[in-house]
Amino acid sequence: MPLFKITNCSRERRFCVVAETVGKLLEKAKQKFAADDLSSIVMDDDGTIVDDDDVLSALNQNTLLMALGDNDRWIPVNTSSTSEVEESKEKDTLKRKAETTTDGCMRLRVQGGQLKLGKPSQEELIQSAVTKANSSASGLKAMAKIYGKTGNKLSLYQKSVNNAAVEIAKDQPELVLDKGPRPVKKRKIDAEERAREMKLLQENLETLTNRLRFKQQLLEKAKSLKNFKQCDDISGQIVEVRRERATTEIQLGVLQKREAKSVWYHKGKNTTKKESPRVKKEPTATLERYSCTASTSSTASTVILSGEEEDNSVEEGTPTLTTLKKCSSTTSATGTVILSGEKEDNSVDHDKTGNEDAGEDF
């Protein structure tokens, strides 16, 4: 079996390994150097990549090979001093620090010479959360808050939940940044798309109705032939078609309700509310309130009304000339005439008394 010498990018240690394939050589290199990120084998003298088993078997005995990781690079032997290796490691460390962000968003990484998009590691999340917690206690409290983000007044239960969330965030800061996936918002559809879906559902509903009718005809034919096995199969198919038709009807009903609601909303939104013009009521002739007195003359059958005006305003329940039906007069011992009326029609009538001329004059 071929014998090889293997080292890493620092060239500080070398191991002798026996391997027939590149995969076995990488596995033994990972065991020797206790590094799980080793992914390629190159020649130590010129950096030529060895990725084929036939090439590996053609190499001479005791050939020095180098195992490299994803972030390692080959350095010539004459320039591979300890200071340069440390400088290279420092550059890689600075590069990794530049990739770290303060939140749990996706970030770009350089892996194997290619730019890839990946999620932050657990260590980065913990480091970011701890940094925020150490910089500002109020910041951690605001990040861990569950209730009260809108500024509303909180109840005792909500305050207790917020306090418990802050205590948990202090123990496990990574939970603050990784709150899980957000619920997907419902996609809005316009009127044209809704109309297309309604038309498609109506066509499907019509097709399912026709299929149900055909299945029922087949069932009747199978019954007449007394083919019970076929009857059982067709009955099961009818149940499936009915179930599918019921689902389609529900979907169509939901879209029809949304369409009606949309039409109602846009109709009310586009219609401007116009104020109705005020109707001017024509003034009606009212019976002015007087303190009436009547004096009778022995020579004339007339009643003379005289009095003082009290109020020209119309009060609720005041009888008018147009609504007064019956007006009766009675003469007291002092000569006072008392008028009374009822609101029934537009005619004015007067009771017959001993003095008929008084009613005519009125």
CA distance 44 to 9: 9
What tokens does 275 get? 């104020």
What is the Cα–Cα distance from 319 to 326, expressed in whole angstroms? 11
Residue linked to tokens 């002798």: 16
Q: Return the bridge partners of 40, or none.
A: 68
User: How far apart are alpha carbons 78 and 44 in whole angstroms?
Assistant: 11
Residues 79, 233: Cα–Cα separation, whole Å: 82
In this predicted structure, what is the pLDDT of residue 218? Answer: 92
* In contact, 25 and 18? CB cutoff 8 Å: no
pLDDT by residue, tens only, the chain of 362 residues: 678 888 888 888 888 888 888 888 888 888 888 888 888 888 888 888 888 888 888 888 888 888 888 778 888 776 544 555 566 555 555 444 444 444 556 667 777 777 777 777 767 766 666 666 555 566 777 778 888 877 788 899 999 998 898 888 877 776 776 666 777 776 677 888 888 999 999 999 999 999 999 999 999 999 998 888 999 999 999 999 999 999 999 999 999 998 898 888 888 877 755 444 554 555 544 444 444 444 444 444 444 444 444 444 444 444 444 443 444 444 444 444 444 444 444 444 444 444 444 444 43
Take residue 220 and report the two structure tokens written for it: 């009747």
How many other CB atoms are found less than 10 A from the CB of residue 305?
16
In 3D, which of 264, 269, 260, 270 has the Cα closest to residue 194? 260
For residue 238, the model assigns a pLDDT of 94
Question: Kind and range of the H or E element at 15?
Answer: strand 14-18
C-alpha span between 50 and 28 (Å, rounded): 16
Separation of alpha carbons 362 and 344, rounded Å: 19
Provide the pLDDT for residue 203: 94
Give the integer Cα–Cα distance in Å for 85 and 334. Answer: 136
Rounded to whole angstroms, the Cα distance separating 290 from 307 reads 6
DSSP 3-state assignment of 9?
Answer: coil
